Amino acid sequence: MTRIVLPCLLALFAFAVNARADEGAFFDGAGGGPEMPALKFEAAKAAPAPQAGPTKQSGADLYYFTPAEAKEAAKRFKFRPKSVGWVFDDNVPQNIKDQMLNDLAFMAGIQGNGATPLHSEIFGKVDGAGYKNWFESRVTGIGMNSCGGGKAVACVIPFMDPSKMWLTQNFVKFSHPQVSRMMVVYHEARHTESQNGNWGHATCPTPFLDKDGNEMKSIWTGATLAGEPACDETPMGSYGSSTILLKNISKFCTNCTDKVKMDAGLYADDQFGRIIDEGAKQQMINDLYK
């Protein structure tokens, strides 16, 4: 049984969140939740309106948030439909800036000779200029955050700023191929879409087994995924769209090395395993695997 993650505990507090990331005290360390500006906790008054707040992170996989948080963020912020570029926060270390710029330049340099229908719908052609524009029309800024600790590489935290992407120190310690790091970055960029509820994750089933009966695990962290909000029920979500992105690079990139194409295929196949709705799965099989 799958379901969208619902908020818990949030009714107990009214969160007054200052949305500016450069104000307030940050804390270090892994686990527990994202680093965020100072939060003012107030005892709940009579029948308070439900407020979005930070979702507890298991640290088992990529960052996640609740539909309530996405809704609250959509009210507070506006999705930017026009490409105006993005900026790094002043505190992003040079090595992380260099890595990100290098990775985005790699994406912007991709050339292709085709695209599947789902890729065309979401990203247009397999084409670097299109990927660059897609990213820049969604992400306004890049800053540093723990993203809930653990092994997270990047995240979007809608209630702080739905068009901002956060990177962690793991971004430069990540032992996965460049194209898979870009898969995470484009996964996160999809989460900036406030007009689509930020494409919140679905909860993976319990048990969650592959076709050989083995426990499904995160390719990023090795953590088991059963019961975690680390799945998608639509090809359009963050896992779905980034699977489609990498599978198309694997199939249609004309200037990628064989290794890049192989890595893209491998990570796409892995992420495809997180699509748990039968209809969505079939749609992606028809689009990507036939």
CB of 12 to Zn ion, least distance (A): 26
Q: Which residue is nearest to Zn ion (CB)?
A: 238
Residues 35-94 that bind Zn ion (CB under 5 A): 62
CB of 70 to Zn ion, least distance (A): 11
Residue closer to Zn ion (CB basis): 127 or 188: 188
Q: How far apart are CA 231 and CA 59, in angstroms?
A: 15
Residue closer to Zn ion (CB basis): 203 or 238: 238
Residue closer to Zn ion (CB basis): 36 or 253: 36
Query: In the set 51, 224, 238, 248, which binds Zn ion (CB under 5 A)?
Result: 238
**What residues form DSSP beta bridges with 13?**
43
Q: Is residue 229 a contact partner of residue 201, using CB atoms and an 8 Å limit?
A: yes
CB of 40 to Zn ion, least distance (A): 28
Name the one residue in this structure whose structure tokens are 């769209």: 241
Residue closer to Zn ion (CB basis): 163 or 256: 163
Residue closer to Zn ion (CB basis): 118 or 189: 189
Instruction: Determine the interface stretch with Zn ion among 105-113, 215-223, 234-242, 271-279 (rule: CB under 5 A).
Output: 234-242
Residue closer to Zn ion (CB basis): 132 or 201: 201
CB of 231 to Zn ion, least distance (A): 10
**17 three-class SS:** strand
Total residues at interface with Zn ion (CB under 5 A): 2
- Please report, for the chain, how many H helices and E strands are present, in that order: 8, 6
> Left (φ > 0), alpha (ψ -120 to 50) or beta: where does 19 sit?
alpha
Instruction: Determine the interface stretch with Zn ion among 5-13, 15-23, 233-241, 243-251 (rule: CB under 5 A).
Output: 233-241
Q: Is residue 131 a contact partner of residue 108, using CB atoms and an 8 Å limit?
A: yes
Q: Helices 278-288 and 238-252 meet at what angle, rounded to 10?
A: 20
CB of 276 to Zn ion, least distance (A): 14
- Nearest CA to 253 out of 124, 118, 125 is that of 125
Residue closer to Zn ion (CB basis): 62 or 202: 62
CB of 100 to Zn ion, least distance (A): 18
CB of 62 to Zn ion, least distance (A): 5
Q: How far apart are CA 217 and CA 77, in angstroms?
A: 34
Cβ neighbors of 58 (< 8 A, separation 6 or more) are 150, 223, 228
Indicate the pairing of strand 164-167 with strand 154-155.
antiparallel
Residues lying near Zn ion in the complex (CB under 5 A) are found at 62, 238
